[in-house]
Amino acid sequence: MTSSHPLLPVVILAGGLATRLGNIARTQPKCMVDVAGQPFLFHQLHLLHAQGVRQAVICLGHLGEQVVQAVGRGSAFGLEIQYSFDGPALVGTAGAIRRALPLLPDQFFVLYGDSYLTCPFAAVQQAFQTTGKSSLMTVFENDQQWDTSNVNFQNGHILAYDKAHRTPQMKHIDYGLGLFSRTAFEAIPEDHPTDLSSLYQDLLRNDQLAAFEVFERFYEIGSLAGLEETRKFIFESILQNIREQDKRKDS
């Protein structure tokens, strides 16, 4: 699957308050924090385009108008972008996706707005569409390296997933990229606060959660340490691209 065969649309969850970043995100959404000279969201959107994505829906809340003003309809990124705003009451990450369903087809990706993920989206989509299940979670063998592991994944299956009650068997982590069918959200009451992690647990109990293991580490800007790591990684990636372009010019 290449850019000539666009992938499913991506829902970007970008409505959080970014309390862990302190003053850095007090006057701007977390996704607009500067990373290597551009808002983080810009890097995320360029990466999605490179993966073969052509449509996105951004779920916004706190100061979300800044995102609309900066990104517009997405033409600068080669994307068609729509927006879904939180109402007066917060409805959680799963509730925000439910609210965005009128803008979405039967299947779609979900990406956290503070994650920079280089895993192969096309392979993840292909795996999901062969499972017959209504959702898929990408998992990464984190083993407590970059965040607290929360998934017991064995022999291609998720045996347990819990952010609050971890066990020694949890060596993997929810990587931050999911795939869903609309049916996964049918049980969520409209405007009822529901977190995506709770929905994942319900889907797992009902045998509707598939898994796909990825091997590219995740980067995130949800914490100060993660923000600095992501800044370094993206800056070095930009320098590497410049070097490769210079080599092609000289050859």
Q: What is the mean pLDDT of residues 88-113?
A: 93
d(CA 102, CA 84): 10
d(CA 217, CA 142) in angstroms, rounded, equals: 8
Instruction: Tell me what the mean pLDDT of segment 220-249 comes to.
Output: 90
| Lowest mean pLDDT, pick from 30-34, 61-65, 121-125, 216-220 | 61-65
Residue 3 has pLDDT above 60, yes or no: no
Q: Please report, rounded to a whole number, the percentage of residues in the chain having pLDDT higher than 70.
A: 97
Least confident of 65-79, 198-212, 230-244: 230-244
Closest CA to 150 of 139, 229, 101, 225: 139
CA distance 193 to 99: 11
Give the integer Cα–Cα distance in Å for 80 and 123. 22
pLDDT mean across residues, the chain: 91
Q: Is the pLDDT of residue 105 over 60?
A: yes
- Return d(Cα 147, Cα 190) in angstroms, integer: 32
Q: Which residues contact 73 (CB under 8 A, 6 or more apart)?
A: 80, 81
Structure tokens, 126: 């292909």
- Confidence check: pLDDT of 16 > 80: no
Mean pLDDT along residues 116-129: 97
d(CA 115, CA 220): 4
| Residue 2, pLDDT score | 42
Among 8-17, 63-72, 74-83, 173-182, the range scoring the smallest mean pLDDT is 8-17
Which residue ranges form the domains of the chain, and what is each CATH number? 10-141+173-250 (3.90.550.10)
pLDDT of 82 strictly over 50 = yes
State how far the alpha carbon of 229 is from the alpha carbons of 141, 169, 217, 224, 234, in Å. 19, 27, 12, 9, 9
pLDDT classification of 5: cutoffs 50, 70, 90: low
Residue 29 has pLDDT above 50, yes or no: yes
Query: What's the pLDDT at 147?
Result: 78
Whether the per-residue pLDDT at 93 is higher than 70: the answer is yes
Kindly state the average pLDDT of the residues 30-40. Answer: 95
**Average pLDDT rounded to a whole number, residues 183-197:** 89
CA nearest neighbour of 111 among 93, 90, 133: 93
**Nearest-angstrom CA–CA distance, 43 and 5:** 22
Local confidence band at 25 (pLDDT 50, 70, 90 cut-offs): confident
Residue 243: CA count within 13 A, CB half-sphere: 6
Cβ atoms within 10 Å of 194's Cβ, excluding its own: 21
Residue 117 · residue 177 · CB < 8 Å: yes
Contact 188, 243 (CB under 8 A): no
Q: How many CB atoms lie within 10 A of CB 122?
A: 16
For range 199-214, the mean pLDDT: 96
Least confidently predicted of 128-132, 171-175, 190-194, 228-232: 190-194
**Nearest in space to 65 (alpha carbons), one of 85, 37, 82:** 85
